[in-house]
Amino acid sequence: MTKPRTSLWLMLALSVVAVSCLPGPSPSPTPTQTSQPLATPTPLSPPTPTTTSTGDQVMAALSLDSLLAYVEALTEIQPYSGWRNSATSGEEEAVKYVAGVLDSFSNLKKMGMTVEEEEFRVFMATEVWQAQLHIRLDENEYLIPVNPPRGPRDNTEIAASFDSDGRLGDEDPNPLEISGQVLLVSSESQLESFSAEEARDKLVFVDYALVDRTLWHRGEVETRATQLIQARPLALVLVTSWSPKPGESHGSFAYEGSPFCSVNDNGTPIVVARLEDMAAAGIENMADLERISDATVLVDTDVISPARSRNLIAMIPGRDDSHALILGAHIDSPNNPGAMDDGSGSAILLEVARVLNESGYQPGVTTYLVWFGSEELFLYGSNTFAAQHQELLDRTIAMLQVDCLTRPLDGLTGITNFDYWSYAHYGDASHPFSQFLEEQADHLGIVAQAEDQLGVVSDNGCFSGFDVPNANLIYWVVEEAQAGGIHNAGVIHAPYDTMERVEEESDALMEMAQIALHTVIALGADKPNLRITRPDEGRAVFVGTQTEPTYMGPTSLTDFAMALEFSGLDVDLIPYGETWSAQDLAGARVVFALPTIDYPSREAGSDTWYDVAWTDDEVGILKDYVENGGLLVVANSRYRLKYGYPVLEENEDWADMNALAEVFGVTFQDATTWGQLATPGDHPLVQGLEVIVLAESNGVNFTYQRGETLAQAHGEAIMALVPYGDQGGEVLIIGDLGILRAEWGEAAPRNLELWLNLAQYAVDRQY
């Protein structure tokens, strides 16, 4: 799962964001670093395949035992070497496991099922090759399974501190082994008196509850983490423990998103150990850690930028191929077992495929099952899928994401939720798909509720910018807001997201599977029109061929793309790296040339360097489009942008936009003076606006030979409209793409009126 709803905005601002019963290493044997091929769960008494199975017969074929077997297989992938961490060999192994299971489904293959891997790059990922902790007590040595935490998702400088050799990009073996005496910090008083003199030449074991950001204020945990890092111990061993009680730590964010992601700037090795994994050594509580005389930490990690990830796509032909349905789940986990998040959703998709295979039931419409990669780095896989499958999205009835099961803490109440993103900002809060899901749940006797988030909660959000009805199926906690967030109220993004927790919520897991399968059956039969936007009056085409970060396009300029859709424009994207022609702009009322930007950056010092640049053919196509009377929007960006995050690393490719802009008499310049607000003029595009909100200091200054300034900041043009040709062609120059990026929450986005003006201007133009 990605971010919690009530704490999503806070976590983005931070820029980081039970004893297991799964078969894994005990404290005595060496932890497994590579996994063996996993066996496919044996089907349970499969019925004779038939093409005449009824919906009720298909539903009856669902098996809890099969679901649990799939979840368990996923949690056994690379235990204690990163599990299915995003964009790693563990994630790749999980994809191969799912592909292997699908390959055994002979009936689906007879129906014409195809299975394809879709590879893509992400900005940065952490690969855990090896991690061990040896402890000595009473002259005996024990090997304890541990995992290093993942560093920040986008800050390359701090991320280098989570690489065992401190050098980003290489994948050579470089294990770091540290031995020394042990110092325990298990109370607030011990932490207050903790000093560099005490820590010298010591391995410091810390009760993770002292720095658990679900229990303490952000400033407090960062101060404590800084104190521990600046003391320069030989290594830090963060020790988590399981508690099902609200208000007590269960290790949330120990593996990713901890305060050390913001403050570990000197390369101090960090590993996370679960107290429960030390039971065979006679350690039952934090106080018992005092008995450890000395220890050895061994870590071998590489932080790779850019890194590779992948989606797995299974296409099952329907009786009607003119319509489609997409079911999604994310295959990766946030460097923990990930049984619930999102082993549960991944298993549900596999179970849907198994049931269809064994019943011989062919869906009414073509059905896509998609296991997304790198969701935990923030939706890379679904961004890529949505960007690459435009024709499919146009015929998709709905997209249902299954992310994820959780285990409410004791005394709290779980409920099945359908989270969605409506057009409420544009005057219509209805959402037929979520209403359909509520009706299906009621038909199945499942208590469920739909909730309008007006923002992204998981992979389904990437489809909102293309007017695909979507929702996220999730087992949530009713008291989540009162508890202070889902990580305070449930067990995800924690070392205890294990098979045992899934088994405790097996009824909810089965209900989620019932809803997913019933959606395939019911939508395929009825094929309802679930879209509420008006009939298309033209197209809005985004040209992202030189824009590698897909979240700098309509998949995450979502509010703006929804404004275009609601105004009657069909949003399409020509994705990164695709070869295209003038025909791809047919019927376009407006075309957006997105910024030139790729992932390699000076900050990352990438060994894998490549560059983006507009081709002469692309420039010629866009020039001809404007000469023929079209409206072209050329947007630039000083930095890489990502959803609601602050600006990220500098975009060294910003000047490459001049290859296109100078054709129209516009030159982007190497100067940035803008803050957060711009003052608009009186042109119809900016009428009714008092200010325009920018991404701070993200604008690229520009000059133009003729035209009209629409908005300026500190005396510099931030938006200008440039006429071109003799048929009424216009080029709208936007110096900061941040003007178009989404804001989430109940309040209307501050640039909403500008987006609506632009959409209506494009619809009304004579072209």
Average pLDDT, the chain: 90
Q: What is the mean pLDDT of residues 669-676?
A: 79
User: Which comes out higher in pLDDT, residue 5 or 519?
Assistant: 519
Q: How confident is the model at residue 22 (pLDDT cuts 50, 70, 90)?
A: very low
552 C-beta neighbours (distance < 10 Å), count: 27
Q: What is the mean pLDDT of residues 261-269?
A: 85
Q: Which CATH number fits domain 8-17+53-123+307-526: 3.30.930.10, 3.40.50.300, 3.40.50.10610, 3.40.630.10?
A: 3.40.630.10
Residue 293 · residue 184 · CB < 8 Å: no
Residue 251 · residue 495 · CB < 8 Å: yes
Q: How far out from the chain centre does Cα 243 lie?
A: 27
Q: How confident is the model at residue 747 (pLDDT cuts 50, 70, 90)?
A: confident
Query: From CA 264, how far away is CA 222, in angstroms rounded?
Result: 10
Q: What is the pLDDT of residue 1?
A: 67
Residues in the chain: 767
Comma-separated ranges of CATH 3.40.630.10 domains in the chain: 8-17+53-123+307-526
Residues 89, 355, 380: CA angle, nearest 5 degrees: 35
CA distances from 703 to 176, 339, 364, 622 (A): 52, 54, 56, 20
CA gyration radius, the chain? 26
User: 400: which strand partners?
Assistant: 327, 471
Structure tokens belonging to residue 517: 């399968």
Query: From CA 734, how far away is CA 509, in angstroms rounded?
Result: 47
Residue 371 · residue 387 · CB < 8 Å: no
Q: What is the pLDDT of residue 12?
A: 33
Q: Which amino acid belongs to residue 136?
A: R
Query: From CA 502, how far away is CA 339, in angstroms rounded?
Result: 7
Structure tokens belonging to residue 27: 């404290």
**Interstrand relation of 396-402 and 588-593 (parallel, antiparallel or unpaired):** unpaired
Task: List all residues 6 or more positions away from 441 whose beta carbon is below 8 Å from its beta carbon.
Answer: 416, 447, 448, 515
Provide the 3-class DSSP secondary structure of residue 708. strand
Q: Fill in the DSSP letter of residue 68.
A: H
Q: How confident is the model at residue 604 (pLDDT cuts 50, 70, 90)?
A: low
Query: From CA 60, how far away is CA 355, in angstroms rounded?
Result: 9
**pLDDT over threshold 60, residue 592:** yes
Query: From CA 424, how far away is CA 748, in angstroms rounded?
Result: 9
Q: Which of 295, 225, 290 is nearest to 261 (CA)?
A: 225
Q: What is the mean pLDDT of residues 230-255?
A: 96
HSE-CB of 308 using CA atoms within 13 angstroms: 7
Cα Dmax for the chain: 89
Query: From CA 699, how far away is CA 157, in angstroms rounded?
Result: 23
| Span 605-634, pLDDT tens digits | 666 678 999 999 999 999 999 999 999 999
Q: What is the mean pLDDT of residues 290-308?
A: 95
Q: Fill in the DSSP letter of residue 279.
A: G
| Span 557-585, pLDDT tens digits | 999 999 999 999 999 999 999 999 999 99
Q: What is the pLDDT of residue 701?
A: 94
Q: How far out from the chain centre does Cα 190 lie?
A: 38
- Look up the CATH architecture of domain 128-301: 3-Layer(bba) Sandwich (3.50)
Residue 407 · residue 490 · CB < 8 Å: yes
**pLDDT over threshold 80, residue 17:** no
Q: How far out from the chain centre does Cα 58 lie?
A: 32
Q: What is the pLDDT of residue 645?
A: 84
Q: Fill in the DSSP letter of residue 595.
A: P
3-class SS string, 364-430 = CEEEEEEEECCHHHCCHHHHHHHHHCHHHHHCEEEEEEECCCCCCCCCCCEEEEEEECCEHHHCECC
Provide the 3-class DSSP secondary structure of residue 185. strand
| φ, ψ (nearest 5 deg) of residue 131 | -155, 130
Give the CA dihedral 131, 137, 142, 146, nearest 10 degrees.
Answer: -30
Task: List all residues 6 or more positions away from 721 whose beta carbon is below 8 Å from its beta carbon.
Answer: 683, 685, 707, 708, 710, 730, 731, 732, 733
Q: What is the pLDDT of residue 52?
A: 55
**pLDDT over threshold 60, residue 80:** yes
Q: How confident is the model at residue 335 (pLDDT cuts 50, 70, 90)?
A: very high
Q: What is the pLDDT of residue 2?
A: 58
Q: What is the pLDDT of residue 605?
A: 66
User: Which comes out higher in pLDDT, residue 450 or 15?
Assistant: 450
CA distances from 704 to 324, 525, 663, 724 (A): 46, 56, 11, 12
| φ, ψ (nearest 5 deg) of residue 26 | -90, 175
Residue 746 · residue 562 · CB < 8 Å: no
Query: From CA 341, how far away is CA 322, in angstroms rounded?
Result: 33
Structure tokens belonging to residue 560: 């703006």
Q: In CATH, what class is 539-764?
A: alpha beta
Q: What is the mean pLDDT of residues 99-117?
A: 98
Percent of the chain scoring above 90 in pLDDT: 81
Q: What is the mean pLDDT of residues 719-737?
A: 97
Query: From CA 643, how far away is CA 15, in angstroms rounded?
Result: 11
| Span 175-195, pLDDT tens digits | 999 999 999 999 999 999 998
Q: Which residue has the tokens 């407006």?
A: 590
Q: Which of 276, 231, 233, 229 is nearest to 251 (CA)?
A: 276
Q: Which residue has the tokens 């060496």?
A: 30
Q: Fill in the DSSP letter of residue 41.
A: P
Residue 641 · residue 700 · CB < 8 Å: no
Structure tokens belonging to residue 263: 């403050």
| Span 508-517, pLDDT tens digits | 999 999 999 9
Instruction: State the first-to-last Cα distance of the chain, in angstroms, to the nearest integer.
Output: 44
CA distances from 524 to 52, 347, 397, 519, 643 (A): 15, 21, 9, 8, 33
Q: Fill in the DSSP letter of residue 168.
A: T
CA distances from 608 to 144, 169, 171 (A): 36, 8, 12
DSSP E strand boundaries for 492-630: 539-543, 570-574, 588-593
**pLDDT over threshold 90, residue 20:** no
> Using DSSP, how many helices (H) and how many strands (E) does the chain show?
22, 27
Q: What is the pLDDT of residue 644?
A: 77
Query: From CA 614, how far away is CA 224, in angstroms rounded?
Result: 48
pTM of this structure: 0.92
User: Which comes out higher in pLDDT, residue 38 or 69?
Assistant: 69
Task: List all residues 6 or more positions away from 648 whose beta carbon is below 8 Å from its beta carbon.
Answer: 154, 639, 640, 641, 642
The DSSP-derived string for 301-352 is EEEESSEEEEEEEEEE--SEEEEEEEEEEE--BSSS--TTTTHHHHHHHHHH
Residue 745 · residue 760 · CB < 8 Å: no
**pLDDT over threshold 70, residue 237:** yes
Q: What is the pLDDT of residue 5?
A: 39
Q: How confident is the model at residue 329 (pLDDT cuts 50, 70, 90)?
A: very high
